[in-house]
Amino acid sequence: MEGILDVPKPRITCGMLSQYIGRPVCFVGRVEKVHPTGKTFTVSDGEGKIATVELVCVLDEELSGVVEVVGMVSNKGAIMASTYNVLREDKGIPFDLELYAEALKVIHEFPQHYPFEVAASG
């Protein structure tokens, strides 16, 4: 789990989940529904598609709004979250999820200009 923090984690949308199975990714989306057990919840991306996030530890607080999840993509296309952080809506400029999705499209369309494989220095 600690290993995931040193590795480049491409930002993806739901549509790209299947291409990143078994790889660490960073996913930003809006919390849709939290499962009663608190171990899993769904998120929607900028294009409106839904993905499932599975947590190692149970949620200890009510989750809502836009959240950034870092984790591995499972065979089933769910994200096994190592860590997450909430982008607070009450502070600063509200996060524009649609614009984010647009930007991601550009990044993935031109990988030659946006290389993910930059080695972390020292």
Partner 1 sequence: MTKLSEGAIEALSNGTGGNDAVLQLVNIRKIDGGSGLPRFRVMMSDGLHTLSSFMLSTQLNFMAEENRLAPNCVCILKKHVTNILKDKRRVVIILEMEVIKSAEDVAGRIGEPTPYTEGKAAPVCYSISHSALILQNVNHPHQNAGSHISTNMTRFLFLKAPSAMPSTPGDNSKVVPIASLNPYQSKWTIRARVTNKSSIRTWSNSRGDGKLFSMEIVDESGEIRVTGFNQEVDKFFSLVEVGKVYYVSKGSLKIANKQYTSVKNDYEMTLNGESSIIPCEDDCDVPVMQCDFVSIGDLENREKDAIVDVIGVCKSVDEVTRLTTKSNREVSKRTLNLMDMSGKLVTVTLWGEEAEKFEASGQPIVAIKGAKLSDFGGRSLSASFSSTLMINPDIPEAYKLRGWYDKEGHAMDGQSLTEVKGSGGGLTNWKTLSDVKTEHLGHGDKADYYTCIATIVYLRKENCLYQACPSQECNKKVVDQHNGMFRCEKCDKEFPNFKYRLILSANIADYADNQWVTCFQESAEAILGQNAAYLGQLKDSNEAAFDEVFQQANFNTFVFRSRVKLETYNDESRIKATVMDVKPVDHKDYSKRLIMNIRKLAAQ
- Please report, as ranges, the residues that interact with partner 1 according to CB under 8 A: 93, 96, 99, 102-103, 106, 109-110
What value does the CA radius of gyration of the chain take, rounded to a whole number of Å? 14
Long-range Cβ contacts of 101-106 (<8 Å, 24+ apart) = 101/13, 101/45, 101/46, 101/47, 102/46, 104/11, 104/12, 104/13, 104/46
Minimum CB distance to partner 1 smaller for 61 or for 90: 90
Minimum CB distance to partner 1 smaller for 56 or for 106: 106
3-state class (DSSP) for residue 106:
helix
Minimum CB distance to partner 1 smaller for 89 or for 96: 96
Measured from the CB of residue 106, what is the shortest distance to partner 1 in angstroms? Answer: 5
Measured from the CB of residue 105, what is the shortest distance to partner 1 in angstroms? Answer: 8
